[in-house]
Amino acid sequence: MTKLMLPQEFESLNEKQQGCVEEYVNAMNALFEEFPDREPSEYTIEALNKAASNLGLTANMVRATLTRLKVDGEKVEVYVKSTASKPSTSATASAGGGKKMNKAEAIKSLEDIIAKSDIEVDNDITSKFTGKAASWLYEVVVQLRPDLLGE
């Protein structure tokens, strides 16, 4: 693979777009020199993050700018690999079950683990929790007191 070059027609871009393109290309070229045996698609995210950091923008702002580039009305294809986001753990079942819990199950799990820690459960308070809040608090208790899971 050869280094990326800035085409002359990119000179017609606005300042923000030009900055994004230049920083991204510079970062890709630096990574290419550092890791010549890797495929460029393996470090597009790293280049994107470096460009964003240098510009004081978020990575998503730079990605959006790069993927929406148009020169003389024609869309320019810029590939930026994206990673699949991990599913949120706040809505998952307690004790590593991996399934989504409803509100009643989440509150019951939280009340059970509180009772195991010899603390009196206040049902007036726990019944007002959302399922997400109860699941999150359960996970916090488990992280603080993992010994309660084995009982």
- 113-144 pLDDT, tens per residue? 888 888 899 999 999 999 889 988 888 888 88
State how far the Cα of 25 lies from the Cα of 70, in Å rounded to an integer: 17
Choose one of 27, 45, 75: the last residue of a domain. 75
In 3-state terms, what secondary structure has residue 100?
A: strand
Contact 62, 48 (CB under 8 A): yes
Provide the number of structural domains found in the chain.
2
The parent domain of residue 119 ranges over 94-150
Q: Among 47-61, 66-80, 86-100, which is the least confidently predicted range?
A: 86-100
Of the chain, the percentage scoring pLDDT greater than 90 comes to: 7
Go through the chain and tell me how many residues it has: 151
Residue 117 located in a structural domain: yes
Residue 80 located in a structural domain: no
Same domain, 65 and 103: no
Residue 83 located in a structural domain: no
